[in-house]
Structure 1
């Protein structure tokens, strides 16, 4: 899966599009310096989104936004 595009939204949210789910925009929120999936506007034309897909989406967007260190530190604390 590849991050195709992203854009800034209102109230600190981000919208991202991934090649595997090209018709299902993913909305992210930023908290504690990293982005996490807030919700997916899922389209029936795309495969079902599973937990591993969500994790991969978070990693890719956080790498793109240079917030991956904060994201990884969050993962270690759980």
Structure 2
């Protein structure tokens, strides 16, 4: 991974139909919605706010890693992503 700023997961909450909403410090006004599939969480969509920076692909990967670590599903995520 590159030398980007690490973001922190501020909060998360369970939503309907197995989804989860998470808030990150770098994108505090842009809730991130996750779905769970095959035992891990992935970004379903971001309710992006113009008050936050543009969300990059690397940001999405960091978000997925942070939530999967928090939810203890990181091993399933790593198997799926096939880390190099």
Normalised to the residue count of structure 2, the TM-score between the two structures is 0.90
Within 5 A, what are the aligned runs for 1:51-70?
51-70=57-76
For residue 62 of structure 1, report the CA deviation from its aligned partner.
0.1
CA RMSD of aligned residues (A): 0.9
For residue 12 of structure 1, report the CA deviation from its aligned partner.
0.1
Structure 2's unaligned 5+ residue stretches are 1-6
Counterparts of 1:73 and 1:9, CA distance in 2? 25
Within 5 A, what are the aligned runs for 1:1-78?
1-76=7-82
Say which is worse superposed, 49-58 or 68-77, in terms of deviation. Answer: 68-77
Counterparts of 1:22 and 1:35, CA distance in 2? 19
Counterparts of 1:75 and 1:5, CA distance in 2? 24
Counterparts of 2:41 and 2:25, CA distance in 1? 19
For residue 75 of structure 1, report the CA deviation from its aligned partner.
1.0
Q: Which runs of 4+ in 1 moved over 4 A?
A: none
SS of the residue corresponding to residue 23 of structure 1 reads coil
